[in-house]
Structure 1
């Protein structure tokens, strides 16, 4: 029979905890790649709604007009929409009005209940400590296309990602790429987009787009 000296057992336990913590942190810091969850509303009808002329005008809120960061958000979005065949117009000439909303907030990390319905799901508890010196943040982007002539919303898509960076500007390339990885996303409404940063430019590239399993 062999015995392990107690401090040696304690050292092995600490190493195991640190390895598990590192793996958990990697999923939030991007070491294992980037990802975002995408949700669409009325995706089944969006394909028909977005056919034809693809011109749009940005609909800005007063807070966005006054924001020093908003032009950078719009520049990223316009570039990606151009790749999708959309053309930005000014004044009243665009077929669509495009509304953009985004925010960054502290995220919670925990183990949630599986198989619960929307009415009885319990929010996971806050993590009691921050791994590697920083809290987690959730970044969200929502794009809404309104048909100018009728005022009807014809397509809505949201992208959400998590990391340990509080700056929303750093998250925006991932969110924009994810939200527009398909335009439009068809049914089902929920998707997982995986990306990887280009080694030369640092710009995220879409690697896979897969529906989330219910």
Structure 2
């Protein structure tokens, strides 16, 4: 009975470790921080994208603009020519790689087969056992993805909304992380000034962002709007 309990516990531990090391998660969590002086109405939400010199004629920039434009459209924004736009929308983005070291236990069996407390048996642990012999440090890469969206009034240059979305994980591609960043950044628009919230986006079987189920919750100790689910 004791061995059975050890076996079940070890199986649960190994399953949990396998899940963590595989990088497979049900949700992508993104931290969103917003600064706002927003007073625009639905009838005045016309905009054009503003590009820095190094973003001109940039295919990556165009791809990210399409993602952000899709999310802006859900908040009644209409993309128009520069001369007709009331607002200018500027994007900034990037990815950073860090190494994270995790200590993992190493197990051993003090009663190796073919004997267990004096009785012949098959050792279910192989070369290992249910008792920790020590810890081994394993290092893994972790990637941080960032998207910043800045909205200004075209006529005056006044900044009226600035939001930053940031998430981390095993994903090494910024382009694959960008749909989550874009949707999270504009979830609950417009957030209050100084709002900080964590947005959880479910991942479907193809790794894409579903068309609904955006759950947002305010971070502890920070002003934010109430938790929302965007459809």
Name the TM-score, length of structure 2 as normaliser.
0.68
Choose the corresponding residue for 1:178, options 181, 184, 195. Answer: 184
Q: Which stretch of the first structure deviates more once superposed, 66-75 or 142-151?
A: 66-75
Question: What number of residue pairs does the alignment pair up?
Answer: 183
Matches within 5 A, 1:56-71: 56-71=47-62
SS at match of 1:150: coil
CA contact (8 A) 1:30 1:163 kept: no
Unaligned runs of 5+ in 1: 112-126
Q: Deviations over 1:92-151 (max 9, x none)?
A: 21001111001011145479xxxxxxxxxxxxxxx8611xxxx11000000010011211
Shift of 1:162: 1.0
Which structure has the highest strand share of the two?
A: 2
Look up the match of 2:46. Answer: 55
2:31–2:199 CA contact under 8 A, matched in 1: yes
* Other-structure match for 2:218: 211
TM alignment of 1:25-174, pairs within 5 A: 25=21, 29-41=23-35, 43=36, 45-46=37-38, 48=39, 50-51=40-41, 52-107=43-98, 109=100, 129-130=139-140, 135-174=141-180
Moved over 3 A (4+): 11-26, 107-111, 198-201, 204-207
Deviation at 1:21, TM superposition (A): 3.4
Q: Could you say what the CA RMSD is over the residues aligned between the two structures, in angstroms?
A: 3.0
Higher relative contact order (CA 8 A, sep 6+): 1
Rg larger in structure? 2
Counterpart contact for 2:99–2:139, Cα < 8 Å? no
Q: Structure 2: state its 5+ residue gaps.
A: 103-136, 222-231
Residue 66 to residue 89, structure 1, CA distance change in 2 (3 Å): same
Is 2:196 aligned against 1:190? yes
CA pair 105-14 structure 1, distance change in 2 beyond 3 A: farther
